[in-house]
Amino acid sequence: MSYKVTAALVIVPNQDGASGDGYFYQDAVIADGFNDKRCKALVEAGMVEKVKAEKPAKDEGKALTKASSKADWVAFATDDARGDDKLSAEDAEAMTRDELAEKFTPSGD
């Protein structure tokens, strides 16, 4: 289950304890599995809400474009990117939509 931030800011410690905390601003989506225990507590506090994980538009027969939503780009970066290009949820959320699009869009598009 993914979570959408409804508060101005939430801080979610990374479960591995090694890579630091995730800072998620209002309307950000915290990917499934990032730190479910903390996210459940934030749901109870009314700071985040449960949402279905969004799949990139390409799963619906459409290719992602530079104008695709940040949620689509984050889902792609964390679920569908291959090899060294795949990002953690924390790293993907820390990037802007335009930075994600630049990273994953072949040059010339």
Q: The pTM is what? A: 0.48
Residue 64 sits in the same domain as residue 43: no
Task: Quote the CA–CA distance of 45 and 39 in Å, as a whole number.
Answer: 10
Residue 90 sits in the same domain as residue 63: yes
8 Å CB contact between 57 and 72: yes
Q: Considering the chain, what is the average pLDDT of its residues?
A: 81
Burial of 9 by CB count in 10 Å (0-12 exposed, 13-18 middle, 19+ buried)? exposed
Number of structural domains in the chain: 2
List, for residues 4-21, the tens digit of each pLDDT value. Answer: 999 999 998 877 666 678
Residue 39 sits in the same domain as residue 64: no
List, for residues 38-60, the tens digit of each pLDDT value. Answer: 889 999 999 999 887 555 444 44
Residue 27 sits in the same domain as residue 61: no
Task: Quote the CA–CA distance of 82 and 27 in Å, as a whole number.
Answer: 26
Band (86; pLDDT cuts 50, 70, 90): confident
Q: Which domain covers residue 30, as residue numbers? A: 1-53
